[in-house]
Amino acid sequence: MIDLDDTDRALLRALSRDAGQSAGALGRALGLSQPATWRRVRRLEDARVLAGRRIVVDREALGFGVTVFLGIKLATKGRVSLEDFERAVTAIPEVQVVQHVLGLFDYRLRVVARDLADFERVLRRRIMTLPAVGQVEANVLLSEERRPGPLG
């Protein structure tokens, strides 16, 4: 496992807020030279701590006004049903996230839709028809916030 110093942590905090900054701008904010910043970013990427970058979009401006989290319990379990379910659910374009979990549900999905009527269509035509799907619970996302986590 990679060892981080305070500068690495500050760098990760800055990048998780805004990954679009140049190495020069990042360095200035942290009191590092541009090459030193670049070397540190490279090291964090090589260690897979920085696993990638992602653009943040205004989902509503793109016509996706509704995000729903679904908890799904499978009706039948067994290796085959897990594999069939996972294959089918990951192929649904409206499903952004699929997590296998332990607890009240077997899977947790993040689903985007244009509006509630569109969500109903996705739920009925795509989710309820998945192989082995049992109980489904839906919660509509109102707000979300990413936190810097244990970096500070």
Partner 1 sequence: MLDDTDRRLLRNLLADAAVATATLAERAGVTTATCWRRLERLRAAGVIQGEEAVIDWRQLGYEVEVSLRFTLDKTHPRSFDEFIAAARNVPEVIGIETFLGRVDVRLNVIARDMRHYQEVYRDRILSLPHIADIEALMLVATIKDEGALPV
Q: How far is the CB of 35 from partner 1 (least distance, A)?
A: 20
Q: Which long-range contacts (CB under 8 A, 24 or more apart) does 78-81 make?
A: 81/131, 81/132
Residues 6+ apart with CB under 8 A from 42: none
**Coil, strand or helix: which one is 72?**
strand
Residue 24 binds partner 1 (CB under 8 A): no
Cα–Cα dist 2/50, whole Å? 12
Residue 86 binds partner 1 (CB under 8 A): yes
Residue number with CB closer to partner 1 (117 or 142): 142
Residue 111 main-chain phi, psi, to 5 deg:
-125, 135
For partner 1, which residue of 26, 94, 119, 132 counts as binding (CB under 8 A)? 94
For partner 1, which residue of 24, 65, 71, 131 counts as binding (CB under 8 A)? 71
- The letter for the amino acid at 11 is L
Tokens (6 digits) for 9: 């942590």
Q: How far is the CB of 72 from partner 1 (least distance, A)?
A: 11
Name the site residues for partner 1 (rule: CB under 8 A). 1-2, 4, 12, 15-20, 47-59, 61-64, 69, 71, 86, 89-90, 93-105, 108, 112, 137-147, 149-150, 152
